[in-house]
């Protein structure tokens, strides 16, 4: 087994873990927004749904690509360089976008808003609770976006370097070949 194959396995495991964290962050965000009293505006659903979608796409596609490309049988179109390289690029953009959207959502002065609301006696506990939750979610969303984005970038750069190296050595149809043939 080559170093590239080990990296692909490690990448897939870390991606699935990061996707599960993304789903967890999204669930925590939805729970935090559901505790908002009905008189207060709470528009947190769009970033949560986007994060859930990116996590689900990652969980569903990357293990499929990994297991198909490491198996004995030749895989389908999804194990070819021409598919995997753009798909990991799309996932990179989606992970960065999910992280930025969540990060911006969690840092929109929620603690100041919570302090303003806590002037009313009935909202004091709610204001302190939501402030502490949003701080944790802001940190988790940053970590959750940084790990997959770095892994996808390294994987895409490695795959591109291997493909260009094979092409410079005179191999025909590099872009249509299986990713495991580049190793």
Task: Look up the domain containing 98 and give its range.
Answer: 3-102+143-182
pLDDT of residue 95: 77
Residue 138 and residue 34 in contact, taking contact as beta carbons nearer than 8 Å: no
Q: Is position 163 within any domain?
A: yes
Mean pLDDT by runs of 10 across the 183 residues of the chain is: 71 74 68 53 60 77 70 63 80 79 62 51 57 64 68 79 84 77 67
Report yes or no on 88 lying in a domain. Answer: yes
d(CA 54, CA 110): 25
Total domains in the fold of the chain: 1
Could you tell me if residue 117 is inside a domain?
Answer: no
The answer to the question of residue 71 being in a domain is: yes
pLDDT of residue 119: 52
Cα gap 138→92, rounded to integer Å = 20
178 forms beta bridges with 80
List the one residue out of 178, 174, 182, 181 whose CA is nearest residue 77. 178
Q: pLDDT value at position 6? A: 75
Confidence at residue 51, expressed as pLDDT on a 0 to 100 scale: 72
Q: What is the DSSP letter of 132?
A: H
Evaluate whether residue 13 is within a structural domain: yes
């Amino acid at each position: 087994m080559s170093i590239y194959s080990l990296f692909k396995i490690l990448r897939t495991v870390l991606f699935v873990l990061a996707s599960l964290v993304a789903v967890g962050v999204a669930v925590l965000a939805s729970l935090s927004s559901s505790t908002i009293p009905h008189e207060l505006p709470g528009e947190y659903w769009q970033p949560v749904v986007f994060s859930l979608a990116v996590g689900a796409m990652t969980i569903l596609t990357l293990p499929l690509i990994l297991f198909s490309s490491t198996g004995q049988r030749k895989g389908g179109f999804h194990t070819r360089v021409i598919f995997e390289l753009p798909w990991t690029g799309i996932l990179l953009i989606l992970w960065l976008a999910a992280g930025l959207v969540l990060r911006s959502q969690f840092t929109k002065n929620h603690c100041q808003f919570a302090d303003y609301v806590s002037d009313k006696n009935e909202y004091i506990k709610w204001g302190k609770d939501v402030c502490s939750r949003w701080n944790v979610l802001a940190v988790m969303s940053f970590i959750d976006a940084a790990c997959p984005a770095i892994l996808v970038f390294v994987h895409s750069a490695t795959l591109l370097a291997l493909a260009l190296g094979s092409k410079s050595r005179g191999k025909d149809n590099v872009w249509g070949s299986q990713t495991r043939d580049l190793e």
